[in-house]
Amino acid sequence: MGKRVLITGLGAFWGGRAALALEKDPDVEMIVGLDTIEPKVELERTEYVRADQSYSILARIVEATQVDTILHTFLEMDSTRMSGRKLHEINVIGTMNLLAAAGAPGSSVRHIIVKSSTLVYGANQSDPAWFREEMTRTAPPRTRVERSIIEVEGYLRDFADDNPHVVVSLLRFSNVLGTDITTALSRALEMPLVPSILGFDPQVQFTEEDDVIRTIEFVMANRIPGIFNVAGDGKLPWSEVVSICGKRRLPLTPVGTGTVAALLDLVRAIDLPPEVLDLLRYGRGVDNRRLKRAGFQYHYTSAGAVESFVRASRLRKTVGNSRPEYHYERDVENFFRHSPAVVREHE
Amino acid sequence: MPSMPAKRVAERTTGAALVPLPRVTNEAEPVDPRIGDVDEWGRSEHIRELARMLYEPLYKYWFRAEWEGLEKIPDNGGALLVANHAAAIPSDAPVIMHGIEKELGRAVYGMADHFFKGIPVVGTLWSRGGGVAADPENAYRLLREQKQLALVFPEGSKGPGKTYGERYQLRRFGRGGFVEIAMRSGVPIVPIAVVGAEESMPILAKNATLAKMFGLPYFPLTANVLAFGPLLGGLLYFPAKFKLRVLDPVYFDVPADQERYSKSMVMDEADQIRIRIQDALYDMLRKRTSVWFG
């Protein structure tokens, strides 16, 4: 009997990508995905359930489907996408409900994988060059997204203590670049002049989006418990990132950077939230060796992730979005999955 | 944050309980399309080379730096270089780094307060030139894992913040953190006594209110400012003769990678190193006939 997996955030980028990857895995017997919005990728066998953002129906779904693995991708790390309040609701309340359902008496859940972020470490003046998993940030969080992730990780730690029979894998991803994902940083790198902060050239790290999915598959297949930093090897200065992209920098003033950024947002040029400005000032490095010791091999270094992003954005510039948009039609999806008229090979 | 327990085998619904081992594959290392030479600490050999070229005349003709016992610095393997610290804008760090890189051909990472990282332009240049934030984690990685040379000034900002009347009187060597780092990293400490830096930019007076206002560790009035005016005097050193003496390395008879080291032993070792540098300074000053000619 294979794994029965529940994915949160199926309609968002990572949930969709993870579901696509898991559908190919013969060890995964059943996938059910939750979201407030419909999936944006074409899925073959994943069952989509519409849920409100705090997942109040989750306990019922877990009981009904008897899932043994939960992949929690629905944590919003990009504060440019929504208000701080909504982000907090999604991250903190969503995770609380998720863990309550997973830890309910008689729950079938045996493995929880959470897609967290290296934002938990922040980016501060007094940071060490490399953060290991057991280290804490050096200054208190200033932004809502950082506070919410720290809260989420706290709940998860309590859950792991209270439920020793459940494997808990907490993955902290560094900034992701790749062929398809859009983040505040990728938008910055696609501008004609890339914002930077005058007099600062911080060292940054990236994970390629394929490596993100491969990490999730890796910890799921091997049921590896613990906290792991996920980031490509090496760090590179922001100036070099911009050079690899074939761009030039537009330096913002080092004093009053927040105000300048607010002006840029006001004229709809780009939204650079405080956590991104911190990164552009101080940079961040996380030690990725614990995951490597567990046996994971990266396909991309930090610079490799930048290059992968550049190639994809060159292609986009020439031919537009090469991936066709997909629109979810409930009736069609239900027909293919459940109609007796459809011949299903695996049965 | 404490990590979760390392191993936790959960029973599966099938009863097949074992955790499968990760597959062992021999994949090729991923390609790394870097175009610059900035290393993980922010140091760039290109920029160091340029800095050495520009600094060489200052080193050779202005300060006329003269070394004694340079052979005591190991050719390979990690070592923690420890020196006395002086001058309003410390002139000793560049001299030591330049001298060792030139004579031994080994990179030296100069460890200094996180303070520098926050200054625009200066922080970036400092980092490209081999400056690293003085953090125990950074020092351990440099010394233990990468077997590099790291330079620290245990007096911190109290060294350069001395007034002229207190010259060559070593301040407290912190809380001995540098000794603990060397012990944990399993590397020797190489003490270096520096004469000349104190006279290159002596502090005549300090103002605590101004220091607070600008967020600086001290706000000095230097003799250079009086001599050369406020602009030039802020940058131009007096041509004091530099003499540097490398003392015998200190090896610690304790295993590396311990969680904790006896605080009394650490403090004791730190104090002994301080005394040895202080004694060497007195000896060098006794033999010095002129501040400008040595």
pLDDT of A176 reads 96
The A residues from 241 to 260 touching B (CB cutoff 8 Å) are: 243-244, 254
The answer to whether the Cβ–Cβ distance between A129 and B10 falls below 8 Å is no
Partners of A170 on chain B (C-beta within 8 Å) are 4
Say yes or no: B255 contacts chain A, CB-CB below 8 A.
no
Q: How far is CA A151 from CA A75, A116, A144, A146, A147, in A?
A: 12, 11, 10, 9, 6
Say yes or no: B21 contacts chain A, CB-CB below 8 A.
yes
Confidence of residue B25 (pLDDT cuts 50, 70, 90): low
With CA atoms as reference, the chain B residue closest to A278 would be B118
Partners of A226 on chain B (C-beta within 8 Å) are 3-6
Contacts of A188 (CB under 8 A, 6+ apart): A194, A195, A270, A272, A276
A70 phi and psi, to 5 degrees? -115, 125
Partners of A239 on chain B (C-beta within 8 Å) are 36
Placement of tokens 């007034």 in the chain: B163
Predicted confidence (pLDDT) per residue in B116-158, tens digit: 889 999 999 999 999 999 999 999 999 999 999 999 999 988 8
The A residues from 10 to 39 touching B (CB cutoff 8 Å) are: none
DSSP assigned state of A73? -
Say yes or no: A128 contacts chain B, CB-CB below 8 A.
yes
Say yes or no: A133 contacts chain B, CB-CB below 8 A.
yes
Contacts of B154 (CB under 8 A, 6+ apart): B82, B173, B174, B176, B177, B178, B270, B274
Please name the amino acid found at residue A265. D
Contacts of A346 (CB under 8 A, 6+ apart): none
Confidence of residue B24 (pLDDT cuts 50, 70, 90): low
Partners of B41 on chain A (C-beta within 8 Å) are 129
Placement of tokens 């980092």 in the chain: B127
From the list B5, B33, B115, the residue facing A303 with the nearest CB is B33
Say yes or no: A220 contacts chain B, CB-CB below 8 A.
no
Sequence-ordered alpha helix ranges (H) in B30-91: 45-57
Tell me the DSSP string of A96-163: HHHHHHHTSTT----EEEEEEEGGGG---TT--SSB-TT---SS---SHHHHHHHHHHHHHHHHHHH-
Nearest Cα neighbor of B49 from B104, B120, B128, B111 is B128
Say yes or no: B30 contacts chain A, CB-CB below 8 A.
yes
pLDDT of A224 reads 95
The answer to whether the Cβ–Cβ distance between A233 and B30 falls below 8 Å is yes
Average pLDDT over residues A313-334: 81
Residue A270 has pLDDT above 90, yes or no: no
pLDDT of A310 reads 95
Residue B13 has pLDDT above 70, yes or no: no
Strands B66-68 and B243-246, by their bridges, are parallel
Query: What gap in Å lies between CA A193 and CA A276, rounded to an integer?
Result: 17
Mean residue pLDDT of chain B comes to 89
Predicted confidence (pLDDT) per residue in A175-212, tens digit: 999 998 999 999 999 999 999 999 999 999 999 999 99
Sequence-ordered alpha helix ranges (H) in chain A: 13-23, 58-65, 84-88, 94-102, 144-162, 184-189, 209-222, 238-244, 257-266, 274-282, 289-293, 302-319, 330-338
Partners of A294 on chain B (C-beta within 8 Å) are 22
Contact B90, B110 (CB under 8 A): no
The A residues from 303 to 342 touching B (CB cutoff 8 Å) are: 303-304, 306-307
Identify each DSSP E strand in chain B by its residue range.
66-68, 79-83, 108-112, 131-133, 149-152, 189-195, 203-206, 220-222, 243-246
With CA atoms as reference, the chain A residue closest to B44 would be A237
Contact A225, A166 (CB under 8 A): no
Contact A69, A102 (CB under 8 A): no
Predicted confidence (pLDDT) per residue in B211-221, tens digit: 998 888 899 99
DSSP assigned state of A286? B
The A residues from 71 to 100 touching B (CB cutoff 8 Å) are: none
Contact A75, A118 (CB under 8 A): no
Query: What gap in Å lies between CA A334 and CA A48, rounded to an integer?
Result: 10
Q: Is B64 helix (H, G, I), strand (E, B) or coil?
A: coil
Query: What gap in Å lies between CA B222 and CA B204, rounded to an integer?
Result: 5
Under 8 Å CB pairs connecting chains A and B tally to 149
Contacts of A178 (CB under 8 A, 6+ apart): A208, A209, A210, A212, A305, A308, A309, A312
Confidence of residue A304 (pLDDT cuts 50, 70, 90): very high
The answer to whether the Cβ–Cβ distance between A222 and B19 falls below 8 Å is yes
pLDDT of A322 reads 63
The answer to whether the Cβ–Cβ distance between B30 and A285 falls below 8 Å is no
Task: Please report, to the nearest 10 degrees, the dihedral formed by the alpha carbons of residues B166, B168, B169, B170 taken in order.
Answer: 130
The pTM is what? 0.89
Name the token pair of A117.
Answer: 């972020």
Residue B15 has pLDDT above 50, yes or no: no
Average pLDDT over residues A33-43: 90
Query: What gap in Å lies between CA B148 and CA B108, rounded to an integer?
Result: 7
From the list A227, A298, A307, the residue facing B33 with the nearest CB is A307
Partners of A160 on chain B (C-beta within 8 Å) are 4-5
Query: What gap in Å lies between CA A177 and CA B13, rounded to an integer?
Result: 38
Stretch among A76-80, B25-29, B228-232, B242-246 having the lowest mean pLDDT: B25-29
Query: What gap in Å lies between CA A17 and CA A215, rounded to an integer?
Result: 13
pLDDT of B21 reads 57
Q: How far is CA A84 from CA A15, A77, A90, A260, in A?
A: 21, 11, 10, 20
With CA atoms as reference, the chain B residue closest to A285 would be B40
From the list A133, A157, A236, the residue facing B36 with the nearest CB is A236
From the list A136, A164, A301, the residue facing B8 with the nearest CB is A164
